[in-house]
């Protein structure tokens, strides 16, 4: 089992930046891919970005060019740097980790983009 804890959310003005952090603990040796999802009120949870053990990255079209996902295996952490934030980025952001036959979620962190 893997436990995930997110930090770094908050209120930011349009055009601003923030970095989300996720710390993994537990059976981290079995993690294959880590990612960030977001869920806006009334909408489904959507994948924002992911990174595999081989550092292959995926970005949703909505954040391409504005987001960077990175991973620090030594510290068991994954980061999501987001720039040029838009009001439509407002959502709860969840850290996700997957292994061969399991999946874990963090508790989520609120990101609000508003002036």
Instruction: Give the model confidence (pLDDT) of 49-62 as tens digits.
Output: 999 988 999 999 99
Quote the CA–CA distance of 47 and 80 in Å, as a whole number. Answer: 12
- Cβ distance 103 to 97 under 8 Å? yes
Q: Between β-strands 77-82 and 91-98, what pairing exists: parallel, antiparallel or unpaired?
A: unpaired
Instruction: Give the model confidence (pLDDT) of 68-107 as tens digits.
Output: 999 998 888 999 999 999 999 999 999 999 998 999 999 9
Q: Which residues does 91 contact at the CB level (< 8 Å), separation at least 6?
A: 38, 39, 40, 43, 110, 111
């Amino acid at each position: 089992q893997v436990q995930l804890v997110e930090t770094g959310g908050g209120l930011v003005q349009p055009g601003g930046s923030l970095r989300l952090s996720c710390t993994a603990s537990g059976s981290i040796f079995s993690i294959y891919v880590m990612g960030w999802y977001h869920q806006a009120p009334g909408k489904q949870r959507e994948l924002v970005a992911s990174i595999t053990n081989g550092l292959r990255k995926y970005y949703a079209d909505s954040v391409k060019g504005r987001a960077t996902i990175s991973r620090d295996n030594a510290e068991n952490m994954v980061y999501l740097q987001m720039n040029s934030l838009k009001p439509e980025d407002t959502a709860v952001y969840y850290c996700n980790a997957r292994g061969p036959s399991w999946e874990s979620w963090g508790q989520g962190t609120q990101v609000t983009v508003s002036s």
